[in-house]
Structure 1
Amino acid sequence: MNRNDRAITGLVMLAHGMVHTYELSFPILLGVWQARFTALSLPLVGTVAVTSFVMGVVLTMGYAPFGLGALPGGILTDAYGSRSLIVACLLGMGGSFVALAVAPSLPVIALCLFGWGVAASVYHPAGLSLISKGVEERGSAFAYHGIAGNLGIALGPLLTALLLLFVGEDSWRLVVALLGVPAIVGAVAALRIDVDETAAVTDGSGEATGEVTSLAAFLGDSRTLLFSAFAVVFGVVMLSGLYYRGFLTFLPDLLAQFPSLAPVEIAGRELAPGRYVYVGLLMVGVGGQYVGGMLTDRIPVELGLIGGYGGLALLAVVFLPIATLGLVPLLAMAALVGFFLFVVQPFYQATVAEYTPPEARGLSYGYTYLGVFGVGALGGTVAGGVLTYANETALFLVLAAFGFLAAGLGAVLYRRASSTR
């Protein structure tokens, strides 16, 4: 990599790690909040019990704008460039966690999560557009970018769990306040990084104009994208997001229900082994991201989609039957799902770059993360509803359906690419 490649890669690794540090700390905090806010008063409804379904809705309040805001984030990226949006993202996330520390009730917690989601939403279209237009060794940058995200995904929940263990779950407000500090420090660091955002665009296209695109231009670009093969890619990423959020949102609580991972008391403190298996699963995802990123430069991305999502579908079918056999099978299944859950991400990110023009790359990644994290946010609500009104077996069958459908769309893209060649 040249100097500009390294500078951009360092910037996006920093921001990506922070985004996912916060994103995956929420499932750890969810159980803490549910234990302390056991009832919820709603206008015209009255007092209702705080069930898994209710907590799924609360988390969706944060996860939905995380995805829905990606589309306007993509538009702003194409208009103003990536760096300034990344700085705003970091400041907004840190501020939201500071506000979360003083939230007096579950509705206010939901409001703080909404603020975090709005701030975080601009990162993926900004960061991925920056890689695709500014980095010449794009495949490697996607891999390192993914690794940084996975380190945040794993170390964020681990840090949250350790802080809760040492300061006590009753001091969760102190924990979230401390978690807000790194994003603010990261924003200051991002301001000091100088990069050429379009160094890899050789024909002069893709320049940020500094003017907000007109509604007519936006609709025209959107029509061009959504009436092309990108529409199939969009279907893949929506299903990917539903699987991702549906699996991870309640995973710490699901793992705690296995006898081999039941909470234990050590030196007067309750240790929840399921939280650390959850962290371990996410750490395995670092390897999945790296392998996926390297493979995007070596095999057709469409084959990666077929294999990755097909693997996730099969794992959802066999997860509970195998995991109930004991601790070792449970850990093996968790590791496999962690690997496949993240090996697919570099593939769909690179697929977007393959099926879209450079000048609409920010918009295309905006649509991508509208699908992954906007539509995908409903996966948490779906999971909460299935767990409340059905059971874990039904949840994993729903996840399997998401995986099989995504693999099928990957096969559609592969057939199209083969006929084109």
Structure 2
Amino acid sequence: MTTATLSAIAPFNPVPLKQDAAVIGLVGLAHGTSHFSHLLLAPLFPVFMRDFGLSFSDVGLLMTLFFVISGSGQAVAGFVVDRMGARPVLFAAVTCFLLAALAASQATGYTGLLLVAMLAGLGNAPFHPADFTILNQRVSPARLGHAFSAHGLTGNLGWALAPVFLVGITALADWRVAYYAAALLYAAVLGVLFWQRDKLRTDVAVRQADAPKGAELAYLKLPVVWWCFAFFLLSTMTLAVVQNFAPSILKALHGVSVEVATFTISAYMLCGALGMLVGGFVAAYGHTHRWSSDRVVAISMSSGALLLLLCATGWLGAVGTMVALAATGFAVGVGGPSRDLMIKKATPKGATGRVYGTVYSGLDVGFAISPLVFGAFMDRGWYALTLAGAAVVLAISVVAVVGVGSRTA
């Protein structure tokens, strides 16, 4: 994303590029921290299983707990963001991550890890309503496509950094040292956000004295909100299949080693990040040429579904399947910025935090449901059918996109 490119997209934008870029950078930093925290425990599961005598079910419950707290808290956090503003909520969230890392460094058993999962889930809950409230209020409309692109890009980078950071420091020193280092990382991020806090201020929704009872919940009656929720739930179920089961599927179907198969997840995430970068330009171009954001998302998700279905056939062989999976990440990533613009169009004025909190809780629900559904497929040895199922779910998400578009046209 270059100054020249952005200036070319919005040559008459009255808001200086430097001002928008600062806000986008700060929110992106915070969002990367959130995704880093998704994997605060998972990369070191083998270590915890060895040191604390845990089972796969035990460590799996840690992630379930994380996403249950994050998902249920996200919808509530939207109301808090609208009432108090996004900035204090964002500071509190990063503080929760800091406490989670410190708790992890002192854990002596499973109870300590449960506390870490709860603190990290609580910290993760407010991020989408807080982030998107700041971006929608503080970034000029012509650059919102790039803002959403950077937001998704930094999230993927946070996912990519966590395993390298935690496992790398553990290999060099000790896992407790790794969590002390993570705590320092969170402290540094919190310091930067506080230092630049004036750029994160948002307006709050003032409740009218004569407003009817339950007015704040009126947005829940809008069908378009639930179509958005359904889209996030379904599309995230597909992502969860890739994250959780792709290495096992590649090993079972094509005899690929665990190490090489695991690399496919990193390739998927990096291609997804590249797709989001490209998607920012697509969204910005679409904004100036009146493209429908829901149409871009529908094309993107349909392309990803077709690629996954091709992978399920086994026709491509080991290398071809890994390349196609990475390409799926790119295809889905291109639709990311347009997806966020689509939700912005569906959001009533003054309800940004509430709507984004509710809609993005579908992401946590998808992450929680997918391992249960497709884990049953994997237990029965239905490896190709798991990929095909992920493709079908992603294709069904296109129906939800159409539902959103028909109600925001």
Question: Which residue pairs with 1:245 in the alignment?
Answer: 240
In percent, how many aligned pairs have the same letter?
20
Question: Which residue pairs with 2:10 in the alignment?
Answer: none
Question: Which residue pairs with 1:229 in the alignment?
Answer: 224
Question: Which residue pairs with 1:118 in the alignment?
Answer: 122
User: Following TM superposition, by how much is the alpha carbon of 1:139 offset from its aligned partner in structure 2, in angstroms?
Assistant: 1.6
Measured against aligned partners, the alpha-carbon deviations of 1:335-362 in whole angstroms (never above 9, x if no partner) come to 1122134333323221110111230011
Question: Which residue pairs with 2:180 in the alignment?
Answer: 177
- Does 1:15 pair with 2:30? yes
Query: What are the ranges of 5 or more consecutive residues in structure 2 without an aligned counterpart?
Result: 1-14
Q: How does 1:54-133 map to 2 (within 5 A)?
A: 55-133=59-137
Match of 2:147 among 141, 146, 153: 141
User: Following TM superposition, by how much is the alpha carbon of 1:96 offset from its aligned partner in structure 2, in angstroms?
Assistant: 0.5
Question: Which residue pairs with 1:310 in the alignment?
Answer: 302
- Work out the CA distance in 1 between the residues paired with 2:371 and 2:212: 34
**Counterpart contact for 2:166–2:175, Cα < 8 Å:** no
- Work out the CA distance in 2 between the residues paired with 1:246 and 1:56: 15
Q: How does 1:2-401 map to 2 (within 5 A)?
A: 2=16, 3-24=18-39, 26-34=41-49, 39=54, 50-51=55-56, 55-136=59-140, 137-167=143-173, 171-195=174-198, 207-208=203-204, 219-251=214-246, 254=249, 261-262=256-257, 272-297=259-284, 298=286, 299-322=291-314, 325-326=317-318, 328-401=319-392
**Counterpart contact for 1:258–1:324, Cα < 8 Å:** no
- Work out the CA distance in 1 between the residues paired with 2:391 and 2:241: 11
Report the CA distance shift for 1:342/1:173 in structure 2 as closer, same or farther (over 3 A).
Answer: farther
User: Following TM superposition, by how much is the alpha carbon of 1:113 offset from its aligned partner in structure 2, in angstroms?
Assistant: 1.1
**Counterpart contact for 1:124–1:366, Cα < 8 Å:** yes
User: Following TM superposition, by how much is the alpha carbon of 1:281 offset from its aligned partner in structure 2, in angstroms?
Assistant: 2.1
User: Following TM superposition, by how much is the alpha carbon of 1:160 offset from its aligned partner in structure 2, in angstroms?
Assistant: 3.3
Secondary structure of the residue that 1:249 maps to in structure 2?
helix
* Code of the aligned partner of 2:397: A
**Counterpart contact for 2:130–2:353, Cα < 8 Å:** yes
User: Following TM superposition, by how much is the alpha carbon of 1:364 offset from its aligned partner in structure 2, in angstroms?
Assistant: 0.7
Measured against aligned partners, the alpha-carbon deviations of 1:52-98 in whole angstroms (never above 9, x if no partner) come to x6544331111222222111111111111111111111111121022
- Work out the CA distance in 1 between the residues paired with 2:92 and 2:150: 22
Measured against aligned partners, the alpha-carbon deviations of 1:354-381 in whole angstroms (never above 9, x if no partner) come to 1112300111111122111245432234
- Work out the CA distance in 1 between the residues paired with 2:196 and 2:167: 32
**Counterpart contact for 1:24–1:157, Cα < 8 Å:** yes
* Code of the aligned partner of 1:281: Y
Secondary structure of the residue that 1:149 maps to in structure 2?
helix
Report the CA distance shift for 1:392/1:258 in structure 2 as closer, same or farther (over 3 A).
Answer: closer
- Work out the CA distance in 2 between the residues paired with 1:394 and 1:258: 11
- Work out the CA distance in 1 between the residues paired with 2:325 and 2:121: 27
Measured against aligned partners, the alpha-carbon deviations of 1:206-246 in whole angstroms (never above 9, x if no partner) come to 831588999976x4333334424222122111212222233
* Code of the aligned partner of 1:287: L
Q: TM-score, normalised by structure 2?
A: 0.83
Report the CA distance shift for 1:88/1:116 in structure 2 as closer, same or farther (over 3 A).
Answer: same
- Work out the CA distance in 1 between the residues paired with 2:313 and 2:251: 16
**Counterpart contact for 1:246–1:382, Cα < 8 Å:** no
Report the CA distance shift for 1:94/1:216 in structure 2 as closer, same or farther (over 3 A).
Answer: farther
- Work out the CA distance in 1 between the residues paired with 2:68 and 2:362: 10
* Code of the aligned partner of 1:120: N
Q: TM-score, normalised by structure 1?
A: 0.81
Report the CA distance shift for 1:36/1:156 in structure 2 as closer, same or farther (over 3 A).
Answer: same
In the alignment of these two chains, the number of paired residues is 387
User: Following TM superposition, by how much is the alpha carbon of 1:182 offset from its aligned partner in structure 2, in angstroms?
Assistant: 0.7
User: Following TM superposition, by how much is the alpha carbon of 1:180 offset from its aligned partner in structure 2, in angstroms?
Assistant: 2.9
**Counterpart contact for 1:66–1:374, Cα < 8 Å:** no
Secondary structure of the residue that 1:334 maps to in structure 2?
helix
Secondary structure of the residue that 1:207 maps to in structure 2?
coil
Question: Which residue pairs with 1:45 in the alignment?
Answer: none
Measured against aligned partners, the alpha-carbon deviations of 1:275-299 in whole angstroms (never above 9, x if no partner) come to 4332232111111111222222313
* Code of the aligned partner of 1:337: T
- Work out the CA distance in 1 between the residues paired with 2:232 and 2:329: 18
Report the CA distance shift for 1:401/1:320 in structure 2 as closer, same or farther (over 3 A).
Answer: closer
**Counterpart contact for 1:27–1:250, Cα < 8 Å:** no
- Work out the CA distance in 1 between the residues paired with 2:37 and 2:199: 28
Report the CA distance shift for 1:98/1:251 in structure 2 as closer, same or farther (over 3 A).
Answer: farther
* Code of the aligned partner of 1:208: V
- Work out the CA distance in 2 between the residues paired with 1:108 and 1:37: 11
Moved more, 347-356 or 224-233: 224-233
Q: Which has the higher helix share?
A: 2
* Code of the aligned partner of 1:294: F
**Counterpart contact for 2:74–2:125, Cα < 8 Å:** yes
